[in-house]
Amino acid sequence: MRLQFSLIILLLSFGKVYSQQDSLSQELDEILIQENRIQIPFSKQSRNISVVTKPQLETTPARSLQEVLTFVPGVDVRQRGVSGVQADVGIRGGSFNQTLMLLNGIKLTDPQTGHHMMNIPVPMINIDRVEVLKGPGARIFGQNAYAGAVNVITELSDQKSLRLQGYAGDFGMKGLTMAASLPTGKYRQNISASYDDSNGHWYNSDYQVTNLFYEGGLELNEHHEFRGMLAYADRSFGANGFYTSAFPDQWESLQTTLGALSHRYSKNAFNLLSRVYWRQNKDEYRLRRNEPEFFQNFHTSNTYAAEINGSIESKLGKTGFGLEIREERLESNNLGNRDRTLGGLFLEHLIQLGDKVDFRAGVYSNYFDDWGWKHFPGAELGFQASEFLRFYSSIGNSFRIPTYTDLYYVGPTNIGNADLLPEEAGNFEIGSKWIKGGLFAELVYFQRNTDNLIEWTRTDSETPWQPQNFNAVKFEGIEFALSYRFQPKNQLLFLKEFQFSYNYIDASLNPQEGIETRYALTALRNQIIGGALIGVGKKIEWNTKMRHTERMSLDPYFLLDMRVDYNRAGKVGLFTEISNITNADYIEAGTVQMPGRWFRAGVMVNLE
């Protein structure tokens, strides 16, 4: 710990000597958080939200979105292997089933299991930014946004461009990516493809991942816009230690398809977005890779959904409204053939109380086949104390229904529980944020009181895991985040960006004596993240990232990663990355031993 804080102090001192601030606040004012209905600039939000911008995505030492999210304060990414082959994302002590993933506002819910939530069929090169909402998002996005939501945003360009990337590294790792922007008149379109594979960092951890992505948009006139999207991901991997250590030859293959069509109408103070989408996920799982007859599962889930979201401004403020209906179907040799229908109604209102106070409140009412109507109210209060300082507070309810794996799974080491009840929680947070020039700082306290928490338990190592409901479980914590961006001078060596964050989470879950829990007490306890982006001359960028992670009931670990880019924004650029420089011994999920020090290097071609 002494070494980590010494590095942080050194970076702060370095920045003080060799830097000059620029206008970060103007940039944050221009970012509208995509919430489907009422959209508010980041700087005016009365919620704890983190935004990962495109330059940050491009300079972070990471080969996948999952790895990028490990550097977002308050986000717990538990990877099984490298390059995002499979990863569980939790927010504020929540499990992977309690976080909602979205792509341009489209829910990527998987009724089979939350383990597939991060199967996002979009190459990293296409992502414009990532918005991470911490705390309940049920009032905004629906029931799966229990502890938070991650919204991946892509953009269509008016400029023709072609980007090519290739890399290779340790463990036989290699990858290729192609992305093109091909606007024709008023029609804009992106097309991209990526392929990654590796021999694996330990026994039976090889993988192959393919992503195909197409997005098009047509602006008929100033009032009407149509957009369409079609994406496909194919990933197969050795799953040693993913779900149990008893079978090191586990193997899994997943194919995810996503299609969406949308229409946006806007005129004066009225906006209306309507869309339909379909998501399919095929999952083949083998307990013994080369002996499928020993134990094999086939699951195919299909989600069909339609949404209408809108907003209207008046003298009384801004009103948001929405309607959705979703049907989830599953065909499985293990879980059976299942289907359920969910419907929802959104209503919210934002008003300005004088020059400094704003208040936003709303409710999401959801209908479920098995549990009837459930209502999730929420409210936010903001106080703009000065041009740069904002105080805020929010409350809200959240809800999650069990997945089909929670309810019906039957296997040698895991069995479901058909008597599970949905999870419910009441949430509260209070915080402040400071945005001035290149400085951003935020301090937040949060609390989540859960009823019927779903947690996998067992009595001893000889009995299978089974989910149970726990009552009156309390999560609370604090988060502090600081970032500083600088306008470089004409110097050989200068600091461009500095980041630091600290998170603390405590949980009151006290299972009965002799009962072992699987996920709840492996949530984050202490998390420290630091980073510095240094410029060398006009073409070299050197990014250093560090993480200290301590989970409840698990050993802490410290990771140090670096990336160096040459001519990143030019026609031809080079990069090299080093992960786990200190060669730490650590596990993030299951019994998967993560790799020690490993390297990647590659080339980028940018043509316009």
How many helices (H) does the chain have, and how many strands (E)?
A: 6, 32
Q: Please determine, for residue 21, whether its predicted confidence score (pLDDT) is greater than 50.
A: no
Q: Please determine, for residue 350, whether its predicted confidence score (pLDDT) is greater than 70.
A: yes
Residue 253's SS3 state is: strand
- Following DSSP, what letter does each residue of 185-251 receive, concatenated? TTEEEEEEEEEEEE--SSTT--EEEEEEEEEEEEE-SSSEEEEEEEEEEEEEEE-TTSS-SS-TT-E
Q: Please determine, for residue 30, whether its predicted confidence score (pLDDT) is greater than 80.
A: no
Strand ranges for 387-460 from DSSP E: 389-400, 423-436, 439-451, 453-458
Q: What is the pLDDT of residues 554-593, one digit of tens each?
A: 889 999 999 999 999 999 999 999 999 999 999 998 789 9
Please tell me the predicted confidence (pLDDT) of residue 468. 92
The Cα-based distances of 75 to 79, 446, 516 in angstroms read 12, 14, 24
For the segment 238-252, the average pLDDT, to the nearest whole number, is 92
Q: Torsion over CA of 11, 12, 13 and 18, rounded to 10 degrees? A: 80
Ranges 83-92, 203-212, 213-222: which has the least confidence: 83-92
Residue 124's SS3 state is: helix
Please tell me the predicted confidence (pLDDT) of residue 348. 96
Average pLDDT, the chain: 91
Beta bridge mates, 213: 192, 231
Q: Please determine, for residue 480, whether its predicted confidence score (pLDDT) is greater than 60.
A: yes
For the segment 491-517, the average pLDDT, to the nearest whole number, is 86
For residue 464, the surrounding DSSP H or E stretch is: none
Residue 605's SS3 state is: strand
Please tell me the predicted confidence (pLDDT) of residue 473. 87
If you ran DSSP here, which 8-state letter would residue 521 be given? G
Is the CB of residue 401 less than 8 Å from the CB of residue 368? yes
- Band (9; pLDDT cuts 50, 70, 90): very low
- Comparing CA positions, the residue from 392, 394, 418, 424 lying closest to residue 405 is 418
Ranges 150-164, 361-375, 513-527: which has the least confidence: 513-527
Q: What is the pLDDT of residues 35-64, one digit of tens each?
A: 889 989 999 999 999 999 999 999 999 999
CA distance 359 to 433: 17
For residue 345, the surrounding DSSP H or E stretch is: strand 338-353
Higher-confidence residue of 27 and 261: namely 261
What residue type is 502 in one-letter code?
Answer: Y
Please tell me the predicted confidence (pLDDT) of residue 173. 96
CA distance 379 to 71: 29
- Band (486; pLDDT cuts 50, 70, 90): confident
| Per-residue tokens: 51 | 């935004």
268: Cβ–Cβ under 8 A, 6 or more apart, which residues?
none
Please tell me the predicted confidence (pLDDT) of residue 590. 78
- Predicted structure pTM score: 0.92
- 148-154 and 99-103: which strand pairing? parallel
Percentage of residues of the chain with pLDDT beyond 90 = 76
Is the CB of residue 393 less than 8 Å from the CB of residue 430? yes
Please tell me the predicted confidence (pLDDT) of residue 437. 86
Exposed/middle/buried for residue 519 (C-beta within 10 Å: 0-12, 13-18, 19+)? buried
Higher-confidence residue of 96 and 283: namely 283
The Cα-based distances of 566 to 53, 126, 573, 574, 603 in angstroms read 19, 21, 5, 5, 9
Percentage of residues of the chain with pLDDT beyond 70 = 94
CA distance 348 to 489: 46
Q: Please determine, for residue 349, whether its predicted confidence score (pLDDT) is greater than 90.
A: yes
- Band (211; pLDDT cuts 50, 70, 90): very high
CA distance 181 to 57: 19
The dihedral sign for the CA sequence 582, 588, 591, 594:
negative
Beta bridge mates, 353: 357
CA distance 216 to 181: 10
Please tell me the predicted confidence (pLDDT) of residue 48. 94
Residue 584's SS3 state is: coil
Q: What is the pLDDT of residues 225-243, one digit of tens each?
A: 999 999 999 999 999 988 8
Please tell me the predicted confidence (pLDDT) of residue 396. 94
Q: Please determine, for residue 417, whether its predicted confidence score (pLDDT) is greater than 90.
A: yes
Please tell me the predicted confidence (pLDDT) of residue 597. 96
- Band (511; pLDDT cuts 50, 70, 90): low
For residue 409, the surrounding DSSP H or E stretch is: none
CA distance 516 to 588: 18
Please tell me the predicted confidence (pLDDT) of residue 28. 66
Please tell me the predicted confidence (pLDDT) of residue 29. 64
315: Cβ–Cβ under 8 A, 6 or more apart, which residues?
none
Exposed/middle/buried for residue 182 (C-beta within 10 Å: 0-12, 13-18, 19+)? middle
Please tell me the predicted confidence (pLDDT) of residue 427. 96
Please tell me the predicted confidence (pLDDT) of residue 26. 55
For the segment 151-162, the average pLDDT, to the nearest whole number, is 95
If you ran DSSP here, which 8-state letter would residue 111 be given? S
Please tell me the predicted confidence (pLDDT) of residue 1. 42
The dihedral sign for the CA sequence 104, 105, 111, 116:
positive
Ranges 9-18, 377-386, 392-401: which has the least confidence: 9-18
For the segment 96-115, the average pLDDT, to the nearest whole number, is 92
CA distance 353 to 383: 10
Q: Please determine, for residue 608, whether its predicted confidence score (pLDDT) is greater than 90.
A: no
